[in-house]
Structure 1
């Protein structure tokens, strides 16, 4: 595990990368001449996604040449105990449609653990970051950063739940479990994508979950949520971003909420005890 000083240096470096990526992506937001293609997994990618990842890879190549990289658009390169995990634009469909909820996500994995994450949503004028043992923060710059914490809500019945869509839950055979959690919660809103987890880290919502995600969708979110005092697991309760889905909440209600969503599956007549 690297020292806190080294981790702080990596965060500063990641922030400098994000500054340049924001300068590339934000001017292209709401552009009428985006080049868009559909990938084999039926998700869209724009020329801006590709350019943003190339910018990140170029800067990493110059200053962190020994490190491996995993990116959404160009896959895996290198082999090392340190790996940068990139989602150049999380929320590409929002970006395409002129919805300002999209962000660049950069994480650092070391020896199999995500130790750092940074999320920048320039159209929202917001940025969040965290390093293991350093806390979680938000602000438009390091100078005006504010430390963030999850809520202290103690019961699902008092909790605000954020999600992305219904489709994935139905495909997973867990729509009934999701609906049960939603019905038990005080409030539900579909903020979606990275935004759900940043609101969780700030204490504005109390539960965030998605049934089908890639590592690059989640890696940067994990240290921000956990350093803010939250719990980030997969739907089977395994810690971290490794399970292909996400279930995050404040530590007081995570277990209760996870039990609810797993208490009944589609096709069952009654909930499991």
Structure 2
């Protein structure tokens, strides 16, 4: 009877030890799952912090290009709102993870619970892992959006540089036009001086002509007493026919070449000024 009781007690102890070992093995696996969940949460926190830093850098770049790219400011605000939403979701994920950890602690305290409780805990951990993975995917998406925002800021900066170059060329155009008008004014001034010189030469030639005619009439009056100088001042006395008049003028001019040259020689000193000597200075002002 004692031997049977010992066998029964030994069998019960073996069953108890086997059951305890299974429970401790399950506990170790639950601890491993909890440690993995904690690592995933830590990695998620690091990625969210990286995303926050990237968004802060994008915000700084957007502020530098704010004068050229005003719409980016609204985009940055939207990104900040989305980041706040992601941070809130991260807090929710952490809360769920803490709940999962609390559930794990409850499971540790309830080593003798039924297998259904372990299945519920496993489902809760799977849900936490799914939520963490979804959050990681969302963080990757927002990182891509932040990089796209940086590229948009670069393109806006380049567009602003091109616009500044165009405005510079537009400002330079009036200066070039003013220079062209200045050159035209200088050319007009030179041309006016040229025409003034021509007018002066014409006036001198007119004075020389009048002096020569006056001297010729005076010579005629000295040779022919009582000659009608007023009638001579009316010009040639010619036939009415044009051809005959041209022939008469040609004959008169031919006959007057020799005497006219001799008479002009007498008045050259009065009409034409002598050339300046080499030692003569310039005209007085």
Q: Is the TM value for this pair above 0.5?
A: no
Q: Which has the larger radius of gyration?
A: 2
Which TM-score applies when normalising by structure 2? 0.19
Name whichever structure is richer in strand by fraction: 1
Scaled by the length of structure 1, what TM-score is found? 0.19
Greater helix fraction, Structure 1 or Structure 2:
2
Which is bigger in relative contact order (C-alpha 8 A, separation at least 6)?
2
